[in-house]
Amino acid sequence: MNQLQAMTTNDFRAFLEQELGRRSSANPNYSLRAFARDLGVDSSFLSKLLNGKRSMTARTILTLAPRLSLSEEQIQNFVQGANGRRRRYPLNSLEIQTLQEIEDQRVAQMLDWYHMAVMALFDVKGFQASATWIAERLGIEVTQAQQALDDLMGTGLLCQNAQGEWIRQIDRHTVSSRKFPHVNLVKKQILEQAAEMVPKQIGDHSAMTISVANSRLDEAIERIRKFRRELAHFLNEPSEKDSVYHLAISLFPVTK
């Protein structure tokens, strides 16, 4: 029985660690970066997999395994182990805590969709804290972009240091519409933008109408909340971002 056959079916991460160790022993110059290159993935992605900061999904296994000379049976054993896990992109407690909820009444009352977009633009490659640049990227008026910058500075979400550099006070943020009803207007603006994108076939837009048991609504809403944050984390993970997107998921009754 070889080493892989002796391992448990859901231990693909441990197999990668052992394979890296084996190759490093054979060649002292062999590094994690070299291993990532041979697997056809980014070294930071592989590092997070090995450190447990990224979940080992079936898709990941099917991407990496063919480059490791594994048999089809061995690959399927690992995949079955991964499929037994309920969540594909689990967040640890630290990652959840970094999503800060804005509590300031002044912030909640002045929000338009582009205020949130300006905050997100800080992560986009080549960001410029210029009303003209922001207006061009978001497709809004320069006066709106300048007003957004002024509003965000006035509420302390943005500031400038002594060198004139712009600083975002909250990296990942959310605002509760239950606490601040005005936020529902922002959601409406986002849905209106989504309707404009459908005929242009930009992004992904889908809807389902189903019968439900009301007894499961609380759990359904909690699942949506977790999925939304997990997907946001997944999309936000790369160090370089190109664009700002809205992510909107709705579940609401049709019957009275």
Do residues 178 and 198 share a domain?
yes
Q: 45 and 160: one domain?
A: no
- Which of these, 180, 170, 174, lies nearest to 247 by C-alpha position? 174
Q: Which of 27, 61, 83 is the last residue of a domain?
A: 83
Q: Is residue 126 domain-resident? A: yes
Strand partners, 99: 172
Domain end residue (candidates: 59, 83, 107): 83
**Do 106 and 202 share a structural domain?**
yes
pLDDT value of residue 229: 79
Task: Determine, yes or no, domain membership for 7.
Answer: no
Q: Which of 63, 83, 103 is the last residue of a domain?
A: 83
Do residues 121 and 229 share a domain?
A: yes
Neighbours of 14 (CB within 10 A): 13
Residues 219 and 138 in one domain: yes
* pLDDT reported for residue 35: 92
Domain match, 224 and 100 both: yes
pLDDT at 134: 92
Decide if 78 contacts 10 (C-beta within 8 A). Answer: yes
Longest dimension (CA), the chain: 71
Q: Do residues 65 and 142 share a domain?
A: no
What's the chain's Rg over C-alpha atoms?
A: 23
Q: What is the mean pLDDT of each run of 10 residues along the chain (256 residues)?
A: 43 87 90 89 85 79 83 79 47 42 64 84 85 92 90 77 68 58 77 82 82 88 83 78 86 86
- 4 lies in a domain? no
Same domain, 229 and 166: yes
Residue 107 lies in a domain: yes
Report the pLDDT value the prediction gives residue 83, as an integer from 0 to 100.
55
* CATH assignment at residue 118: 1.10.10.10
Q: CA neighbours within 13 Å on the CB side: how many for 122?
A: 19
DSSP string, 195-232: HHHTTTT-S----------GGGHHHHHHHHHHHHHHHH
Domain annotation covers residue 135: yes
How many CB atoms sit inside 10 A of residue 190's CB?
15
Q: CB within 8 A of 42, min separation 6: which ones?
A: 36
Which CATH number does the domain housing residue 63 bear? 1.10.260
DSSP 121: H
Are 74 and 132 in a shared domain? no
The reply to whether 70 and 145 lie within a common domain is no
**Pair 177, 133 in one domain:** yes
**Domain residue limits at 19:** 12-83
| Residue 120 CB partners (closer than 8 Å, separation 6+) | 244
In whole angstroms, what is the distance from residue 148 CA to residue 116 CA?
A: 9
Structure tokens at 148: 């957004």
What is the per-residue burial (b if ≥16 Cβ within 10 Å, else e) of 132-168?
eebbebbebeeebbebbbebbeebebbeeeeeeebeb
pLDDT at 9: 38
- Position 146 scores a pLDDT of 92
Clarify whether residues 16 and 128 are in a common domain.
no
User: Domain tally for the chain?
Assistant: 2
Q: How far, in Å, CA of 166 to CA of 129, rounded?
A: 7
